[in-house]
């Protein structure tokens, strides 16, 4: 067993004293942890500042083209086809008054010759009757003078009453003959009018033996040929006019309301109700879209009960004249096209993207950076843009970002969304009112 001297034992006392002192001083030497400042987490959100804008109400519809005029040529006479034009074929374009067919005119030429001969005879008869009338008038004047002479002589007793009566009977006979001739002349002239009318009809029939195009058109179907015999009423051909085409396009009635709101027509009971609308006709041909400028002609006057669509008639003038080979085809019958109607622009409208709507509310960022929920009234929606009728004012800051939990009064850190401004400019075609200049 090891033994320690008193000096060695005394050396343990200082460390023990030092440890005790440190234990006594330790509570007073303990440092307090730093106090953390409470942090407020602000949600970063994209926002759009409201400014009055212009928006042009539009509606898209679809329909098939049809010619403005159709010609179903029917023979007004009976006869054999003795000549056909080289253009008398399907697809050929013919111009107004161009002859296409001729029927045998010989029967009508004979009728005309006969009527002209009868009319000539009637005119000669006129000359004969007129000559007889002149003679009868002279005879009547002589008979009148004779009666006057006999009357004077009878008063003096130189002529018997029998002679007087005889002269009066001669006067009556002469007058009757003159009147008969005048009646014959009137009857003959009336017969001449009948002959002239028949001659006019015969000449008209002769012209109808040549079938001519009533307007510039394109033949779609031929139904007769050379040497065929046709009866009255036989269909000879069908053709479509090429001066204009019409599109009977259907538009959802709900989409037409903003357009009606923008036009200034006071009545829908006339053809002017839609004439202020602009119409763009589009045809998708592969990767290309071909456009024509159209005009609204009239309403179709019919509402589809199943689709609740309204018919609008759009006219495109001179579709063949606008054709460019290889680039723009002519608009022919039954081409399926899209029609876009545009109304005059509505001014001072509050516009937001549809994604900013939350049922009937929008989220706003207050000037203090707090979230505010506000109820709005939507007028209509077009191209994912909502037109707000009430609830928003210029200068309001609309929150565009989606908020997982939108709590009224929550702190926000608004960030202007420049891309949304550019998108609205592109979709509407107009910048905000403050940037449109005095021209707006």
Residue linked to tokens 């079938």: 211
pTM for the structure as a whole: 0.69
pLDDT at 256: 86
CB 213 within 8 A of CB 98: yes
Is CATH 2.40.50.100 correct for 70-104+210-241? yes
- Topology of 46-55+349-433 in CATH? 2.40.420
**Cβ contacts of 32 within 8 Å, gap of 6 or more:** none
Is CATH 3.40.50 correct for 106-208? no
Q: Please report how many Cα atoms fall inside a 13 Å half-sphere around the Cα of residue 148, on the Cβ side.
A: 6
Is CATH 3.40.50.360 correct for 59-63+243-342? no
pLDDT at 271: 57
> 423, 411, 409, 410: which is closest to 356 by C-alpha?
423
Q: Where in the chain is the domain with CATH 1.10.287?
A: 106-208
- Maximum distance among all Cα pairs of the chain, rounded to whole angstroms: 224
pLDDT at 156: 77
Q: Where in the chain is the domain with CATH 2.40.30.170?
A: 59-63+243-342
pLDDT at 437: 37
pLDDT at 8: 61
Reading phi first (left if > 0) and then psi (alpha if -120 to 50, else beta), residue 414 is in beta
Q: Where in the chain is the domain with CATH 2.40.420.20?
A: 46-55+349-433
pLDDT at 34: 52
Which segments of the chain have a pLDDT < 70? 1-40, 264-273, 433-440
Q: Where in the chain is the domain with CATH 2.40.50.100?
A: 70-104+210-241
pLDDT at 273: 62
pLDDT at 107: 94
**Cβ contacts of 112 within 8 Å, gap of 6 or more:** 199, 202, 203, 206
Q: What is the pLDDT of residues 326-358, one digit of tens each?
A: 888 889 999 999 999 999 999 999 999 999 999
pLDDT at 71: 96
pLDDT at 32: 54
């Amino acid at each position: 067993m090891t033994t320690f001297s008193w000096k060695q034992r005394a050396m343990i006392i200082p460390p023990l004293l030092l440890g005790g002192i440190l234990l006594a001083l330790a509570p007073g030497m303990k440092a307090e942890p730093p106090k953390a400042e409470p942090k407020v987490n602000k949600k970063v959100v994209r926002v759009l500042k409201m400014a009055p804008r212009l928006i042009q109400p539009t509606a898209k519809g679809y329909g098939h083209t049809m010619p403005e005029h159709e010609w179903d040529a029917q023979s007004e006479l009976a006869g054999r086809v003795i000549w056909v034009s080289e253009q008398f074929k399907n697809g050929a374009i013919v111009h107004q008054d161009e002859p296409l067919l001729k029927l045998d005119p010989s029967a009508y030429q004979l009728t005309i010759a006969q009527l002209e001969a009868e009319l000539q005879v009637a005119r000669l008869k006129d000359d004969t009757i007129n000559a007889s009338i002149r003679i009868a008038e002279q005879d009547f004047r002589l008979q009148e003078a004779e009666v006057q002479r006999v009357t004077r002589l009878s008063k003096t007793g130189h002529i018997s009453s029998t002679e007087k009566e005889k002269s009066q009977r001669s006067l009556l006979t002469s007058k009757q003959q003159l009147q008969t001739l005048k009646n014959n002349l009137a009857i003959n002239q009336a017969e001449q009018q009948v002959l002239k009318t028949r001659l006019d009809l015969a000449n008209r029939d002769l012209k109808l033996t040549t079938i001519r195009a009533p307007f510039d058109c394109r033949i779609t179907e031929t139904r007769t040929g050379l040497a065929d015999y046709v009866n009255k009423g036989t269909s000879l051909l069908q053709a479509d006019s090429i001066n204009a085409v019409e599109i009977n396009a259907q538009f959802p009635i709900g989409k037409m309301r903003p357009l009606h709101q923008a036009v200034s027509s006071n009545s829908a009971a006339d053809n002017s109700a839609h004439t202020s609308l602009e119409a763009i006709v589009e045809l998708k041909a592969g990767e290309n879209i071909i456009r024509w400028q159209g005009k609204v002609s009239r309403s179709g006057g019919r509402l589809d009960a199943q689709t609740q669509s309204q018919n609008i008639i759009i006219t495109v003038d001179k579709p063949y004249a606008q054709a460019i080979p290889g680039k723009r085809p002519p608009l022919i019958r039954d081409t399926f096209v899209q029609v876009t109607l545009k109304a005059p622009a509505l001014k001072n409208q509050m516009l937001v993207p549809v994604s900013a709507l939350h049922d009937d509310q929008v989220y706003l960022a207050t000037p203090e950076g707090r979230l505010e929920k506000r109820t709005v009234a939507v007028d209509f929606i077009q191209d994912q843009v909502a037109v707000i009728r009430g609830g928003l004012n210029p200068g309001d800051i609309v929150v565009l970002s989606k908020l997982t939990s939108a709590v009224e009064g929550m702190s926000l850190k608004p960030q202007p969304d420049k891309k949304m401004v550019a998108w609205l400019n592109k979709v509407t075609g107009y910048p905000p009112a403050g940037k449109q200049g005095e021209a707006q």
